[in-house]
Structure 1
């Protein structure tokens, strides 16, 4: 049973259980939380004001939250119980609109609950509960939350595609393989990319129709997401620059649109995984840049109210970052800003130049969060 990105309708179409039975978790994880803590967590996440909680089901005195695959790190605080993909778990009968028995909450949007926000709330609840019982100690595997919404001159978020990673090289590598596989020329693939301006559904529809490719557009797109992510090059200079910022006391995050598994694979391929305190991916939250809510989630994860946003997209990164109260750095790649587009605070050629801007302006006043 594998849930692609989507919403409750996909869950209802996929999950056709007539009664409670063990189901293999495929493509998602689950965290089980005792009822009282789960109720409090849902109430607090709802107060955040973004779509943080997806579909929730009952399980022997616990509530179960669906999470994206590989959400087991960091360790979930007791008494939460993490169940990873590949395990079996008894789920209630097939849900119906407005919830059937066994389904506490029925999401009409993405089925996933935001793992970072849920983890932070459960950690806070666990710390408070433990201190009530024994104020002198802190439970194992639990790190207290950072002070909430504190301004910092050393907070920075980075876009992923074409900012931290070399998107052009990964696309070219993929295009060579794709052209060879389907017996077309590399120029024909590149011409389709220009015609469709990077719109992937249109791009694959164009290639499929023009070259009579039998594979479905959905399959072509899925293959592209995975293989292009594997082909992202490792850029040692970028890794070194990010690591040096961390060593200088910067707290760093990634804010990116896209499919969660593909975006995390890109970070691993580029050897950037482990260098950021938080990675916020639109596919896990049901909102995309430039929506201010996605930036708010990232700021909340670092307990900050201001900082820098570095990205290559004037709309998603610069306009979105500015609306969220972030100081913006546009990685132009040599492009000129078009009339009427968002105005960045700083313009640079590459992400390495952006790192230098961060160093130079680490003590500059930052705008307050909107």
Structure 2
């Protein structure tokens, strides 16, 4: 075992499958996670900035991750076993070598591993820590654990409102129609929007009371959701940019808060509906961004643990995405980030600039913020 730059790296060309038994962990920690929670564990490794090598099935259906020594005790997905340096770990019987077919990679650098890796490494260490043991002859299946040639994962999720779509224009178009319908001025609608800071419940309650609007609050909300979705403008440049990512091999999805019918109608109005493999909408799951679980649902939809999140909302998109282990790109629209606001990995003025940023990193992972 060799420790380089704070991460555990394997001397893969020296490993063979040796006998099982207690192993003293020296120079690194290990966390063992149920295979059903392996993707979540990888996301947490990313979020913590830990470089780890491991990920192997044992006969207990666990995945093992080598960690830098004293890396702490993060809130690993339950059930999980954390074994620190200086402790012992007892190996289970070696699994069938024929099952070692899967490879794993996540976003902190070009790290690859094969399913028998954890067992092989710890068995080798166990042999070297028993001086009285006579080294066994190499087994007939000596595995050279060299990293395969694999492309970097190219997966990105986009927010919808005010990121992919022009929400300001659709709202302005709706406001003009609404003012005409109820006999008030456009300034009245704009003033209510400012007073209520975008809170639709307060916005419609305020207008209804002030101008004696007879339509129910439920009806006003329903009309608003339907009509603003219909009025979303088609932006050809955005569609072209998204298609360019797809042509370069990027897999793309949408993660958005809102009513499912309205959000899907917005995608159709903007002519974006056919450009995304996965569309995850909060109203279909009962949770909203920044809840990390909504991002994990999207990761699962594309069968990945590593992706980029692009959005205009620092709390919903940047904080939520970071907590779920995604790289984040904030579409600022020219705004300054508040001193106490979440820190995105990258900041760009528009979604077109975000696409350009992703295209620059088509052949390499999008780096984290310095």
TM above 0.5, one fold?
yes
**CA shift at 1:48, angstroms?**
10
Query: What CA distance in whole angstroms lies between the structure 2 residues aligned with 1:300 and 1:363?
Result: 23
Q: Match of 1:81?
A: none
Conservation of the 8 A alpha-carbon contact between 1:149 and 1:304: no
Name the counterpart of 1:165. Answer: 165
> What does residue 259 of structure 1 align with?
259
- Asked if the contact 1:158–1:309 (Cα under 8 Å) also holds between the matched residues in 2, the reply is yes
Whether the 8 Å contact between 1:204 and 1:220 is mirrored in structure 2 is yes
Rounded Cα–Cα distance in structure 1 between residues aligned with 2:314 and 2:106: 27
Say yes or no: does 1:228 pair with 2:228: yes
What residue number does 1:284 align with?
Answer: 284
State the Cα distance separating 1:153 from its structure 2 match.
Answer: 3.0
What residue in structure 1 maps to residue 242 of structure 2?
A: 242
CA contact (8 A) 1:148 1:300 kept: no
Against the structure 1 CA distance between its residues 343 and 48, is the aligned structure 2 distance closer, same or farther, given a 3 Å change threshold? closer
Q: In structure 1, what is the Cα distance between the partners aligned to 2:295 and 2:312?
A: 16
Mapping for residues 114-125 of structure 1, pairs under 5 Å:
none
Cα deviation digits, residues 130-180 of structure 1 (max 9, x gap): xxxxxxxxxxxxxxxx99997653100000000000000000000000000
Cα offset for 1:362? 3.2
Mapped contact 1:332–1:348 kept (Cα < 8 A): yes
Contact preservation (8 Å) 1:148, 1:304? no
The 2-side partners of 1:294 and 1:147 are apart by 26
**TM-score where L is the length of structure 1:** 0.59
- Counterpart for residue 293 of structure 1: 293
Q: What per-residue deviation string (whole Å, max 9, x for no partner) do you get for residues 100-155 of structure 1?
A: xxxxxxxxxxxxxxxxxxxxxxxxxxxxxxxxxxxxxxxxxxxxxx9999765310
Asked if the contact 1:290/1:320 (under 8 Å) is kept, the reply is yes
Shift of 1:367: 8.2
2:271 matches 1:271? yes
Q: State how far apart, in whole Å, the 2-side matches of 1:48 and 1:204 are.
A: 43
Residue of structure 2 equivalent to 1:356: 356
Partner SS, residue 198 of structure 1: coil
Aligned to 1:252, the other structure's residue is in SS state strand
Indicate the SS of the match to 2:352.
helix
**Cα distance 1:47–1:245, how it changes in 2: closer, same or farther (>3 A)?**
closer
Q: Which residue of 1 aligns with 2:194?
A: 194
- Provide the residue aligned with 1:128 in structure 2: none
**C-alpha deviations, 1:78-107, integer Å up to 9, x for none?**
xxxxxxxxxxxxxxxxxxxxxxxxxxxxxx
> What 5-or-longer segments of structure 1 have no aligned partner?
1-44, 50-145
> Offset at 1:359?
1.2
Aligned partners of 2:193 and 2:104: how far apart in 1?
44
Q: What is the CA distance between 1:360 and its match in structure 2?
A: 1.6
Q: Where does residue 13 of structure 2 map in the other structure?
A: none
Match of 1:325 in 2: 325
* 2:302 corresponds to 1:302: yes
> What per-residue deviation string (whole Å, max 9, x for no partner) do you get for residues 174-209 of structure 1?
000000000000001001001111110100001001
In the other structure, the counterpart of 1:57 is none
Question: Could you report, residue by residue, the CA deviation over 1:312-333 in whole angstroms, capped at 9, with x for unpaired residues?
Answer: 0000000001111111110011
Taking the aligned partners of 1:156 and 1:189, their CA distance within structure 2 comes to: 36
Q: State the superposition RMSD in angstroms.
A: 2.5
Q: Which has the larger radius of gyration?
A: 2
Is the 2:345–2:367 Cα contact (8 Å) retained in structure 1?
Answer: no
Give, in whole Å, the separation in 1 of the partners of 2:105 and 2:286.
23
Q: How far 1:46 sits from its partner (Å)?
A: 12
Per-residue deviation, residues 220-242 of structure 1 (Å, max 9, x unmatched): 01100000000000000000000
Q: For 1:328, what is the secondary structure of its paired residue?
A: strand
Once residues 269 and 244 of structure 1 are traced to their aligned partners in structure 2, the CA distance between those partners, rounded to angstroms, is: 20
1:331-360 residue CA offsets vs partner (Å, 9 max, x unmatched): 011111112110111111110000011112
**Number of residue equivalences:** 229
